[in-house]
Structure 1
Amino acid sequence: MNSLPPQYSLQQKTFLVLLTMVTIGFGWILLPYFGAVFWGVVLAILFNSLYNRLLRATKGKPTVAALLTLLTIVVIVILPVSLIGASLVQQAVGVYDMVASGHMDFGLYFRQILGALPQWVVNLLDRFDLTSLAALQQKMSAMASQASQVAARQAINIGRNTMNFLVGLTIMLYLLFFLLRDGQMLSARIKNAVPLSRRYKTRLFNNFTTVIRATVKGNVLVAIAQGALGGLAFWFLGVQAPLLWAVVMAFLSLLPAVGAALVWAPVAIYFLVTGSTWQGIALILWGTLVIGLVDNFLRPVLVGKDTKLPDYMVLLSTIGGMALFGLNGFVIGPVIAALFVASWDLFVSAEEFHPD
């Protein structure tokens, strides 16, 4: 006759409570620099293969391999992002100054658009109480101006908070070095600590690392491609601050299906209704046939194929993740979605949960 499993003793229960409390406390301590820790882990996963190649090239010297990998990350990731960020701040400040001085008049832009609308559109706006057109124009102009000023102020704040940025960057690079050098040992200890069978742990950990690699590499490559193509089009058509709009399009392209069109489509409509017909048509063709196809073809190949998630789940998890976690959410959201799918697949296929 099999005996029942022994209940936890008071000592064991007390230790589990203590373990939970100190874990929550440690997480609370790290919370102010969650972004630095998170991206340190992400970069360690992304560049682990490079570290392993350098480890073999240096004949098994982990410290040297980790330092060389860290130097590579600084050169190909940190420096380009910093240079683009500095240029972005400069252009955002320029846009803010033009709005404040009246050289960039959103009211004028909207008057031009409203003046070019056909009469049936004006009548439709009247029917839905969206007129007087003057009041609508004033509200939309104020919203656009306010949005531009908020974006510029955020860019200015990034420049003013340089110390916080440098502290976070230092923490990330410092942590990244140890994650590269000691990553396999730390991963093994975490796997051993998780109270699941080896089959479960292997499946879930593999899903975790695969989704992070696919999501970051895929989304970042798509964002860079769409932002660069959109910024190039804006520069060619003479749109002010093309780098600023390129970065905005790159950021929005993290959202599957919609993305960069939220920027280039209104600009194309503005060109059309204000008489710049060829510019509007050219931007629509470029946005649809070039920028749009980058998203339609690259994202499923780079993201959905490796994560084994359907497109709609990638979209919903990305939007939801970014709503909850900000920019970090474009990675966290799909990771949680992939673990959700993997966990339910394990549950459905596990005999211990379905003995019949």
Structure 2
Amino acid sequence: MSSTILQIRTFLILLVAVSAAFVWLLIPFAGAIFWAIVLAILFIPMQRWLIGVMPNWPNAATLLTMLAAVVIVLMPVSFVAQSVITELIHLYQQVQDGDFRAGDAYEQLVNAVPPSMMPWFERLGLDDVETIKSYISRFASQAVRLVGNQAINVGQNTFMFVLELCIMLYLQFFLLRDGMKLSGLVTNALPLAMEHKARFMSKFATVVRATIKGNVVVAICQGALGGLIFWALGIASATLWGTVMAVLSLLPAVGAGLVWGPVAVYFLATGDIAKGAILGAYGVLVIGLVDNVLRPVLVGKDTRLPDYMVLLSTLGGLTMFGISGFIAGPLIAVLFLVAWDLFRVMNQEISETVEDR
């Protein structure tokens, strides 16, 4: 018996060590692997439908699914990413040349404030224009330098981008074609009862797909609508601000309003009533309603993450994983909730078994 226990423990140590070494090998391509898995989860229903249409051509069905993923997701994302990087590099060069003065907008805003409101500004300490201008300019310059450096690095590292794209597409093909087999292998390897495995995998897949669709589609729609109105009103760097609104759309209640709201107020305060009114009305009636209209359709009540969980997991994911954290953070939150839900069910079953005895 002691010999058998020793062998089991030795094998488990070996298994953990080999698994850790394999994960360590994959770390440089973690982003490509992650996005291949995400795209496979999103497009596997299409692949299954195509398999039903052409059952004798599984590889062709998979290739058609990948082509759809490229056209629907990768091409638009690449176009937006290129535009955002270009605009960020332009802002970065303005900062380097000393032409970037974010604080000037605040000075114009204060100068446009009616005299009757100035006492309120003085009470709040907002009348010290030069100091606040300095703070705003310094903060904006540091932010642009930080993000601009990342944009320059991404733009210069073309080889790694192409390599990761090829790895992602290659891996996505096999995940789509052999996804069910791989899922079965993972499910069988879990040391759980069969009904618990089925509950865990089914609920995890459902919530993951709903979360991805809900977060990503709503964010894309709000960002696209925000960028469109900024472009129509002649606001500089419309693509960049649209991307920022897409990320901020994950924040409950306020979301993209953190971008278009201050801009609308600035227009109104500086006398551009038409642009301010158009942007304000558009933000409330169009951008603001996207979340209320689309999210219930894409995400059912039973599969929706709480707003606070979406916020915390997204911010944590962006901090830990960069842009991939936009999806990785909520997915980890889903795994957390599903695992604890399974633990609750198992604990309840054990309690009922003990009571029956």
Same fold (TM over 0.5): yes
Q: Does 1:339 align with 2:335?
A: yes
Question: Distance in 2 between the 1:125 and 1:32 partners?
Answer: 51
Aligned to 1:57: 53
Retained in 1: the 8 A contact 2:103–2:132? no
Query: How many residues were matched structurally?
Result: 352
| Residue identity matched to 1:208 | F
Alignment match of 2:350 (pick from 342, 352, 356): 352
Question: Distance in 1 between the 2:2 and 2:345 partners?
Answer: 28
Bigger shift: residues 271-280 or 70-79: 70-79
Deviation at 1:100, TM superposition (A): 5.0
| Residue identity matched to 1:115 | N
Retained in 2: the 8 A contact 1:314–1:334? yes
Specify every segment of 5 or more residues in structure 2 that has no aligned partner in the other structure, as ranges. Answer: none
Q: Deviations over 1:271-329 (max 9, x none)?
A: 12211122112211111121011123322432353624334433343334334333333
| Residue identity matched to 1:352 | I
Aligned to 1:91: 87
Q: Does 1:178 align with 2:174?
A: yes
Q: Percent identity?
A: 50
Cα separation, partners in 2 of 1:60 and 1:306, compared to 1, 3 Å: farther
Q: Runs (4+) of structure 1 moved beyond 4 Å?
A: 5-8, 97-104, 118-131
Query: What are the equivalent positions in structure 2 for 1:183-332 lying under 5 Å apart?
Result: 183-303=179-299, 305=301, 307-332=303-328
Deviation at 1:127, TM superposition (A): 4.8
Retained in 2: the 8 A contact 1:212–1:331? no
Query: What are the equivalent positions in structure 2 for 1:52-131 lying under 5 Å apart?
Result: 52-98=48-94, 100=96, 105-118=101-114, 123=119, 126-127=122-123
| Residue identity matched to 1:72 | A
SS at match of 1:315: helix
Question: Distance in 2 between the 1:165 and 1:69 partners?
Answer: 22
Deviation at 1:63, TM superposition (A): 2.4
Question: Distance in 1 between the 2:351 and 2:102 partners?
Answer: 62
Retained in 2: the 8 A contact 1:257–1:295? no
Cα separation, partners in 2 of 1:192 and 1:165, compared to 1, 3 Å: same
Question: Distance in 1 between the 2:184 and 2:68 partners?
Answer: 26
Deviation at 1:23, TM superposition (A): 1.1
| Residue identity matched to 2:165 | L
Q: Deviations over 1:307-354 (max 9, x none)?
A: 243344333433343343333333333333333333333333332244
Q: Does 1:156 align with 2:152?
A: yes
Deviation at 1:165, TM superposition (A): 1.1
Question: Distance in 1 between the 2:340 and 2:204 partners?
Answer: 15
Specify every segment of 5 or more residues in structure 1 that has no aligned partner in the other structure, as ranges. Answer: none
Retained in 1: the 8 A contact 2:211–2:304? no
Q: Deviations over 1:61-101 (max 9, x none)?
A: 33222222222222222222222222222333334445555
SS at match of 2:301: helix
Structure 2 length-normalised TM: 0.88
Bigger shift: residues 281-290 or 76-85: 76-85
Question: Distance in 1 between the 2:269 and 2:301 partners?
Answer: 41
Structure 1 length-normalised TM: 0.88
Q: Deviations over 1:211-234 (max 9, x none)?
A: 221122222211121112111211
Q: Does 1:21 align with 2:17?
A: yes
Bigger shift: residues 199-208 or 315-324: 315-324
Question: Distance in 2 between the 1:86 and 1:322 partners?
Answer: 20
Cα separation, partners in 2 of 1:29 and 1:46, compared to 1, 3 Å: same
Question: Distance in 2 between the 1:333 and 1:185 partners?
Answer: 26
